[in-house]
C-alpha cells in the first residue's frame, strides 16, 4: 500500500528550500523503511482539502489508513479538522518553524528520526479541541495574542524574515493595537463578566513555568487562562511572577480546567488565534474538547495529566 505524504510548501523548513531534494529524500527514506509513498507539495489551504478528500475516500473494510503531513502547527491543525473522528491515522514530519505539537507528542525534531517513528506505526489516541466546530491541536486565544500573530505574519511578508525575527517588531505593534475588552465567560452553567487583555484556551494543560510545555494530550480537559491584570506594569511583571511561582489568581491570571466553555463579546465577529494562525470567528465562541478523537503516530505514550488546579 502506498502512503500519501502532504507537504506544505509554505512551511518554515520547506519555504525557500529545494523541494525536489526534500521529496526525493522522503521517498528514499520511507522506501528504505519498507514504505512506498506518494509525495505531494501544496499550499496550506490546499492541504486541508486534500486531507478531507483522503478521509472520505473509500477504503477496504474499516482498516485504518495513514496520512503523513509535513508542516507546522497551523498545517497540522487544519488537517486535524479534516480527519478527526475518521479512520485516518496521522504521521507528523516536523517541518514548521516552532513545531510545538511535534514536541509535545515526543517527536524528535529531526526528519530521519520522524520517519523512524512513522515506520514503527505506534498509534495513540489524543484529544482534539474545537472552537465553533473547527479543530485545533495546541491552543486558541482572544485578545492581544491574535493581534501579535497577525502583526508577526505581516512583518514576515514585509521584511522577508522568519517568525522569530519578526516577533520583536510585531509585539510592539500588537501592544499599540490592543486594548482590554469585556467578555462574558460561561463555565459549567455559571457566567461571569471579565475585563481582560487575553483569554487563552489550551488543548490539555499548559505549564506556564515550563514555557507552555504539555505533559499530556489525553486528560480530556481544556486549560483556560484568563488574564486579569488591569495595568501595563502588572502585565510587564507577569513573566517574572510566572518564573518565581508568584502568580496571584485573583489579580494576575486565573486557571480553569474544563470540558467546554462559551465566550460572548459585544462584537459579532472577533479575530482569534488558532495554532499560531488567525481567523475571523463569529461570537459566541463555543469551545469544547473531544477526548481521544485523533490518532497519531508517536514515539511514546503521553503521560498522565497533572492534578486539577
Provide the grid cell at 226: 484568563
Which is it for strands 222-227 and 253-258: parallel, antiparallel or unpaired?
A: antiparallel
Helices (H), the chain: 19-32, 44-56, 73-83, 100-104, 111-120, 144-159, 163-177, 232-243
Measure the CA–CA gap between 220 and 284, rounded to whole angstroms: 22
- Cβ contacts of 44 within 8 Å, gap of 6 or more: 8, 9, 10, 71, 74, 75, 78
**Whole-prediction pTM value?**
0.88
CA dihedral over 268, 139, 54, 218, signed as positive or negative:
negative
Tell me the domains of the chain and their CATH numbers: 2-121 (3.40.50.10330), 136-141+179-289 (2.60.200.40)
Residue 33 backbone dihedrals phi, psi, to 5 degrees: -100, 10
pLDDT level of residue 304 (50, 70, 90 thresholds) = very low
Percent of the chain with pLDDT over 70: 93
Structure confidence by residue, pLDDT tens digits, 192-248: 999 999 999 999 999 887 777 898 999 999 999 999 988 888 888 887 787 777 888
What stretches of 171-305 adopt beta strand conformation (E)? 181-187, 190-196, 198-203, 222-227, 253-258, 260-264, 269-274, 277-282, 285-297
Amino acid at each position: 500500500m502506498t502512503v500519501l505524504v502532504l507537504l506544505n510548501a509554505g512551511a518554515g523548513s520547506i519555504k525557500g528550500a529545494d523541494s525536489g531534494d526534500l521529496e526525493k529524500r522522503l521517498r528514499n527514506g520511507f522506501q528504505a523503511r519498507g514504505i512506498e509513498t506518494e509525495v505531494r507539495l501544496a499550499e496550506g489551504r490546499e492541504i486541508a482539502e486534500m486531507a478531507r478528500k483522503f478521509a472520505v475516500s473509500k477504503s477496504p473494510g474499516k482498516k485504518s489508513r495513514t496520512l503523513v503531513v509535513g508542516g507546522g502547527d497551523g498545517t497540522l491543525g487544519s488537517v486535524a479538522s479534516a480527519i478527526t473522528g475518521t479512520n485516518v491515522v496521522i504521521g507528523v514530519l516536523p517541518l514548521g518553524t516552532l513545531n510545538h505539537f511535534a514536541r509535545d507528542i515526543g517527536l524528535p525534531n529531526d526528519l530521519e528520526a520522524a520517519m523512524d517513528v512513522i515506520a514503527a506505526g505506534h498509534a495513540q489516541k489524543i484529544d482534539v479541541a474545537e472552537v465553533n466546530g473547527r479543530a485545533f491541536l495546541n491552543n486558541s486565544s482572544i485578545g492581544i495574542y491574535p493581534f501579535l500573530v497577525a502583526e508577526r505574519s505581516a512583518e514576515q511578508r514585509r521584511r522577508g524574515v522568519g517568525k522569530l525575527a519578526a516577533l520583536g517588531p510585531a509585539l510592539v505593534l500588537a501592544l499599540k493595537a490592543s486594548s482590554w475588552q469585556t467578555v462574558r465567560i460561561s463555565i459549567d452553567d455559571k457566567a461571569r463578566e471579565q475585563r481582560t487583555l487575553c483569554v487563552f484556551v489550551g488543548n490539555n494543560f499548559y505549564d506556564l513555568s515550563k514555557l507552555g510545555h504539555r505533559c499530556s494530550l489525553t486528560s480530556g480537559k481544556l486549560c483556560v487562562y484568563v488574564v486579569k491584570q488591569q495595568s501595563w506594569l502588572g502585565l510587564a511583571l507577569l513573566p517574572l511572577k510566572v518564573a518565581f511561582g508568584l502568580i496571584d489568581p485573583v489579580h494576575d491570571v486565573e486557571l480553569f480546567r474544563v470540558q467546554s466553555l462559551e465566550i460572548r463579546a459585544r462584537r459579532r465577529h472577533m479575530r482569534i488565534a488558532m495554532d499560531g494562525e488567525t481567523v475571523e470567528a463569529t461570537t459566541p465562541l463555543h469551545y469544547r474538547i473531544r477526548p481521544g478523537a485523533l490518532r497519531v503516530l508517536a514515539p511514546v505514550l503521553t503521560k498522565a495529566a497533572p492534578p486539577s488546579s
